[in-house]
Amino acid sequence: MFRFIPYILKSLLRHRMRSLLTVSGSAVAIFVFCFVGSIQEGLERLTNGDDAQQSLIVFQENRFCPTTSRLPEDYSRTINDIPGVKDVVPMQVWTNNCRASLDIVVFNGAPPEKLKSTRDLKLVAGDWGTFEKQHDAALVGRNIAQRRGLKPGSSFTIGDITVNVAGVFTSPVAAEENLIYTNLEFLQYRQDVDSAGLVTLHEVYLTEGADPESVSRSIDEALRTGPVPTTTRRKGAFQASTLADLVDLIGFAHYLGYACVGLVLSIVATTTVMSVQDRIVEHAILQVMGVRPGRLFRFILSESTVLCFLGGLLGTGVAMGVLYWSGLAIGAEGVTIAFRPSLPLALSAIVVSILVGLAAGIIPAFKASRASIVMALQE
């Protein structure tokens, strides 16, 4: 079979423009497929990752946007005394947009020593010392640094907040790379807002083996007599609830991925049918020369698969590059979903393109291999 590879390639190059358009159409569809898959992977990591399952969020009861939740900072002492709690991080959250946005900017203010002990942040530029000593210093996630062109030493202003970038970090939690961390007191005393002693939420880290549901109930019960009632949930459940509208939209986008697969199937099948019709006599001559119908079937199937594979390879490569360098994210109410490339996503896109190429070529290949030699030569 390998000795017929030059013939297969020559057949594809015979109509260069048609083959090029087919590969391009397949690439565009697989590109969209990868983007949809990236959003779904981001949501899955955000709501079901280890970080989302092993920590809790204490939020003000019946509040949604971070700007409306105001909890006493000293709640952390009460929470820390509850069995099963390993550590508590009081956090002030500020966002430029509580609605869904592709360019959301989220500030998280927290004590520097807490960030260092609870977050697995790796600085790729800058240093921790500047962040700890300078009141208005900030650590910027890699994705938002790419989008905004930020680097250590630069100043960043949005709304009434101005910070000096002390470092750029990466994190194994993709959503973290779309955040800006500042000192807790800096956000509490920002311009025109006096939130001394108040925070947006408390992030609770559990000891190994602790039951999240039981600890959540204990926290809410312990704080019930406080000045502000609370609702405590797993971090994943809290984020899923916050992004409820986006979750429904992303679920609908799942069908867009199927539509892209159908589009590739249609494009490649149409091209294969046209190619078979153009070479009816050629296929008949090949059979006269001794090429069996089964081998002719594989010829045509190989052509459609190669076209689809090339389109899938191109679309996947471009999508992975754009996802990596763009640092895109979508979010709402201070919670972000990161668009991140991944090897499983790339492999699934390539496998889908190969399977679609095989499916697109089956019917045209079957008809060509079963065509009457006499009728084909007469035509």
List C-alpha distances in Å: 49 to 45, 175, 205, 239: 5, 11, 14, 12
At 286 the pLDDT is 64
The yes-or-no verdict on residue 44 having pLDDT over 70 is yes
Residue 252 DSSP SS3: helix
Q: What is the pLDDT confidence band of residue 70, given thresholds at 50, 70 and 90?
A: confident
SS3 content of the chain, % helix, strand, coil (to 5): 60, 20, 20
Answer yes or no: are the C-beta atoms of 119 and 171 closer than 8 Å.
yes
Look up tokens 């750029």; give the residue.
Answer: 168
The yes-or-no verdict on residue 349 having pLDDT over 60 is yes
248 CB-near residues (< 8 Å, 6+ apart): none
Burial of 378 (0-12, 13-18, 19+ CB in 10 A): exposed
Q: If you ran DSSP here, which 8-state letter would residue 207 be given? A: P
Q: What is the pLDDT confidence band of residue 273, given thresholds at 50, 70 and 90?
A: confident
Q: What is the pLDDT confidence band of residue 284, given thresholds at 50, 70 and 90?
A: low
The yes-or-no verdict on residue 376 having pLDDT over 60 is no
Residue 336 parent element (H or E): strand 335-338
Answer yes or no: are the C-beta atoms of 353 and 125 closer than 8 Å.
no
User: Cα separation of 355 and 362, whole Å?
Assistant: 11
Q: If you ran DSSP here, which 8-state letter would residue 191 be given? A: T
| Closest to 161 in 3D by CA, of 135, 142, 130 | 135
At 316 the pLDDT is 95
User: Cα separation of 224 and 229, whole Å?
Assistant: 6
User: Cα separation of 19 and 357, whole Å?
Assistant: 13
161-170 vs 137-141, strand pairing mode: parallel
Provide the percentage of residues in the chain whose pLDDT is more than 90: 24
pLDDT of 287-332, one tens digit each? 666 667 667 778 778 888 888 999 999 999 999 999 888 877 777 7
Other CB atoms within 10 Å distance of the CB of residue 16 = 9
Lowest mean pLDDT among 188-192, 281-285, 362-366: 281-285
Q: What is the pLDDT confidence band of residue 268, given thresholds at 50, 70 and 90?
A: confident
User: Cα separation of 105 and 148, whole Å?
Assistant: 10
Backbone angles phi, psi at 93, to 5 degrees: -115, 135
Could you tell me how many residues make up the chain?
379
pLDDT of 355-375, one tens digit each? 998 898 888 878 776 766 656
Of 311 and 257, more confident: 311
DSSP class per residue in 120-164? --EEEEE-HHHHHH-TTEEEEEHHHHHHHT--TT-EEEETTEEEE
Answer yes or no: are the C-beta atoms of 203 and 81 closer than 8 Å.
no
| Mean predicted lDDT score pLDDT of the chain | 82
At 1 the pLDDT is 47
The yes-or-no verdict on residue 58 having pLDDT over 80 is yes
At 317 the pLDDT is 95
56 CB-near residues (< 8 Å, 6+ apart): 203, 204, 206, 212, 215, 216, 219, 232, 233, 234, 235
Tokens of 130: 């500047």
Q: What is the pLDDT confidence band of residue 351, given thresholds at 50, 70 and 90?
A: very high
Q: What is the pLDDT confidence band of residue 137, given thresholds at 50, 70 and 90?
A: very high
User: Cα separation of 143 and 330, whole Å?
Assistant: 12
